[in-house]
Amino acid sequence: MSLLLGGTAGTAALIVWARYPASMVGVPGAEVSNLNPPTLAAVTFGLAQCGLALLLRRPLRRALRRPVAWAAVALVNLLR
């Protein structure tokens, strides 16, 4: 939980007070990008995403024990 909250708070603080761009993906025509070169805001956003993934790991494992849910994930994965 602390990884998610810390990453989110860090990202918000960098956007609000340090004036980093709010977009975490490359936007054509933008003066500054968070991705090229990677900025501290991109790192804190990644930390928040890792925290969220860790929190969702157990519930998602439980949900994917059902054959229908697992088949849906497998099917979507094949479409890529």
pLDDT in tens, 36-49: 889 999 999 999 99
| pLDDT digit string, tens, across residues 48-59 | 999 999 999 999
Q: What is the DSSP string of 4-72?
A: HHHHHHHHHHHHHTS---S-SS--TT-S--SBTTB-HHHHHHHHHHHHHHHHHHHHHHHHTTSHHHHHH
In whole numbers, what is the pLDDT of the chain averaged over residues?
A: 94
